Structure 1
Amino acid sequence: MAMAMATTFYVLCFFLSVAPVPLPKSDQNLLEFPLNLEYMEAEFFLYGSMGFGLDHIQPNLTGGGPPPIGARKANLTPLITDIITQFGYQEVGHIRAIKSRIGGGFRRPLLNLSAESFGAVINQAFGKPLYPLFDPYANDINYLLSSYIIPYVGLTGYVGANPYLQTPTAKKLVAGLLGVESGQDAILRNLLYERATLCVVPYGITVFDFTNKISELRNKLGRAGLKDEGLVVSPYLGAEGKVKGNVLSADTNSLSYGRTPKEILRIVYGSGKEQVPGGFYPHGANGTIARKYLKAKINLKE
């Protein structure tokens, strides 16, 4: 009898230790929201390096969402192709990890990853149209600059979400995601930093000027002060106020900046307003948080 009870006790302990603990709704919403960025990163990196995306690699993760607009294989050298391929597969894992933790998640939103979409961001950053239109898929430099636009936004989102997570399970997942997103951003910034003084053909504008303009645009659209820095900054913005080089973007204590979902939506929509979709998300982002803002706009019209 005692042995049977002991066996039952250990079996119960085993199942309790491996069974996933339900997350509070607030944690689920905060973990769900980044899927919008992870979908975008996955499709851009997979298409850019291999010419196909999630529908080919892992169609069950799309939730039946529409394929991205305008994504295609980039004209990359073998080294950059290798790095971006790794990034693409990493994003597949991120989507799977989030979806499995929250019990499904939402379908892939419509993404506009066309050259025109990226070109519009660059024109907005410089405050004037560049001619010819900037093409993210043309070469290594263009693709790296376009990639500069993406992972950092997700990185700041994870930093911003972490203080509001209630459970260790959610915090652990975000820490794991943040680690790799930070690594991707660091690699991209390093590759661009090595090329910082090169001029982007045919514009005659240096790589570091491109990064500074992109970062300035994200600060402007986010409407929350300084949370973004290019590769070369005024010394007072560098580490300990001592250096111009800025291979990693960070605050006065060299800590990563954090952004709220509102700020992120303002940036990726390109509108500066979380209620006004556009840019990379023509129909808006998906999930409870993002749709709440779109619904708020609809209600205001009624």
Structure 2
Amino acid sequence: MTDIKNTLEIFDAIETRRNERRSFLRFAGGSAVALGGASLLAACGGDDNDSVTPAPTPTPTPATGVTDPDVLNFALNLEYLEAQFYAYAAFGVGLNASLLTGVGTQGAVVTGTGAGFPRQVAFQDAVVQQYAREIAIDEVAHVAFLRSALGASAAAQPAINISGGTAAAPGAFSLAARAAGVVDANTGVFDPYADDNSFLLGAYIFEDVGVSAYKGAAPLISNKTYLEAAAGILAAEAYHAGLIRTILYRKGLQTPNPITALITNANKISDARDSLDGTVTNASTGVIGDDDQGITGSDATISNIVPTDANGLAYSRSTGQVLNIVYLSKAAVSLGGFFPAGVNGSIRTSAANA
């Protein structure tokens, strides 16, 4: 796997973002991503002081038996997945080795097979390319931040599959696309690095899941410092999700050549997530059904950029439901899909929705 430190392009991009964010990304030694002799400190501060790591006071174990570090490590696994996908798609490189170690079995990242892998997307739309780079930098920062907050208890990156694979040996993206009906159910291959539109659909698979995961995890977090940090990441993920949904919808309706397949396939992906995470009861309306929604309303001329309930609130997923989606299974399993060996940490089994 190629280290980010060998890519000056991403160094320059992060440096630019650092200046814009008032020291949001701090460059120093220690627990960092090495970038051509410099480093991205595992920290995200909202002001200009030098305090870059949350220092919460000890909290009792919640009644559920799930501790705050358990929840943050669960989130860290998801951030590893997103950060690796976006980093490869936007810059052609993965996370630096210094951001992969920790508790549990460290795994490799599979991005594809054959010549040309790993490779970044050959973007044709400069706007999509810039958005991809921005999101990639955010996701790398999320990994660094959570690892810094967790310290010695941070989970190692598990094995991750972000490959399209082949017809005979499909990768996780192809399995997800087959289940959604985006490609042929038996032989279809979906390569999220093939072009702009494929990248956007690949990103769409993850983004709404991240938002609902953080909202669902909020009640499990006892310490207010950790809760505030999680809320900050949730907000960033929501911006990302809204951006991806907006681009897909706009491209789907663009003139003079609308790409109706983009809207259709995005909605199919949403339906597939519905089928994996089980039905839920809407606490506001009492209606039993799925809250996951596509990017259109009753027809393609009505946008649905922000999927919400009747009160305009984003919906939640339990940790089990999140794992149903990333494992690509309705059953209670501990591995599969994008995490072929499972996630690291104490929260690792999906819900039984079969």
Q: TM-score range by the shorter chain?
A: 0.7 to 0.9
| Structure showing the higher helix proportion among its residues | 1
Matched to 2:335, the amino acid is: P
- Quote how far apart the aligned CAs of 1:191 are: 0.7
Aligned partners of 2:298, 2:339: CA distance in 1, in Å?
33
Aligned partners of 1:101, 1:111: CA distance in 2, in Å?
22
Q: Are residue 39 (structure 1) and residue 80 (structure 2) matched?
A: yes
The residue aligned with 1:185 is 241
Q: In 2, are the aligned partners of 1:197 and 1:206 still within 8 Å (CA)? A: no
Matched to 1:80, the amino acid is: V
The residue aligned with 1:113 is 162
Listed as ranges, the matches of 1:85-104 within 5 Å are 85-104=133-152
RMSD: 2.7
Identity value in percent = 32
1:138 paired residue among 173, 194, 203: 194
Q: Aligned pair in 2 of structure 1 residues 75, 132: CA closer, same or farther (>3 Å)? A: farther
- Quote how far apart the aligned CAs of 1:266 are: 0.7
The residue aligned with 1:165 is 221
Matched to 1:234, the amino acid is: S
Listed as ranges, the matches of 1:21-40 within 5 Å are 21-25=57-61, 26-40=67-81
Listed as ranges, the matches of 1:45-84 within 5 Å are 45-55=86-96, 59-63=97-101, 65-70=106-111, 71-77=118-124, 78-84=126-132
- Quote how far apart the aligned CAs of 1:244 are: 3.3
Count of residue correspondences: 265
Q: In 2, are the aligned partners of 1:196 and 1:231 still within 8 Å (CA)? A: no
Aligned partners of 1:98, 1:264: CA distance in 2, in Å?
19
Aligned partners of 2:277, 2:101: CA distance in 1, in Å?
29
The residue aligned with 1:265 is 323
TM-score (norm 2): 0.69
Q: In 1, are the aligned partners of 2:72 and 2:146 still within 8 Å (CA)? A: yes
The residue aligned with 2:39 is none
Q: Are residue 228 (structure 1) and residue 287 (structure 2) matched?
A: no
Matched to 1:69, the amino acid is: V
Matched to 2:326, the amino acid is: V
- Quote how far apart the aligned CAs of 1:132 are: 5.5
Q: Aligned pair in 2 of structure 1 residues 128, 19: CA closer, same or farther (>3 Å)? A: closer
Aligned partners of 1:93, 1:230: CA distance in 2, in Å?
28
Aligned partners of 1:274, 1:23: CA distance in 2, in Å?
30
Q: In 1, are the aligned partners of 2:273 and 2:292 still within 8 Å (CA)? A: yes
Aligned partners of 1:171, 1:183: CA distance in 2, in Å?
18
Q: Aligned pair in 2 of structure 1 residues 274, 139: CA closer, same or farther (>3 Å)? A: same
Q: Aligned pair in 2 of structure 1 residues 54, 103: CA closer, same or farther (>3 Å)? A: same
Q: In 2, are the aligned partners of 1:221 and 1:266 still within 8 Å (CA)? A: yes
Aligned partners of 2:324, 2:122: CA distance in 1, in Å?
30
Matched to 2:150, the amino acid is: I
Matched to 2:140, the amino acid is: V
Matched to 2:99, the amino acid is: L
Aligned partners of 1:146, 1:63: CA distance in 2, in Å?
26
The residue aligned with 2:344 is 286
Q: Are residue 252 (structure 1) and residue 302 (structure 2) matched?
A: no
Q: In 1, are the aligned partners of 2:296 and 2:304 still within 8 Å (CA)? A: yes
Q: In 1, are the aligned partners of 2:56 and 2:225 still within 8 Å (CA)? A: no
Aligned partners of 2:128, 2:230: CA distance in 1, in Å?
27
Q: Aligned pair in 2 of structure 1 residues 245, 35: CA closer, same or farther (>3 Å)? A: same
- Quote how far apart the aligned CAs of 1:23 are: 4.6
Which secondary structure state, in structure 2, belongs to the residue aligned with residue 195 of structure 1? helix
Bigger radius of gyration among the two: 1
Q: Deviations over 1:84-111 (max 9, x none)?
A: 1111111111112212222241110111
Q: In 2, are the aligned partners of 1:224 and 1:263 still within 8 Å (CA)? A: no
Matched to 1:33, the amino acid is: F
The residue aligned with 2:207 is 151
Q: In 2, are the aligned partners of 1:30 and 1:165 still within 8 Å (CA)? A: yes
2:181 paired residue among 126, 137, 157: 126
The residue aligned with 2:168 is none
Which secondary structure state, in structure 2, belongs to the residue aligned with residue 92 of structure 1? helix
- Structure 2 unaligned residues grouped into runs of 5+: 1-50, 62-66, 112-117, 166-171, 281-289
The residue aligned with 1:212 is 267
Aligned partners of 2:70, 2:228: CA distance in 1, in Å?
16
Aligned partners of 2:183, 2:177: CA distance in 1, in Å?
9
Q: Aligned pair in 2 of structure 1 residues 79, 35: CA closer, same or farther (>3 Å)? A: same
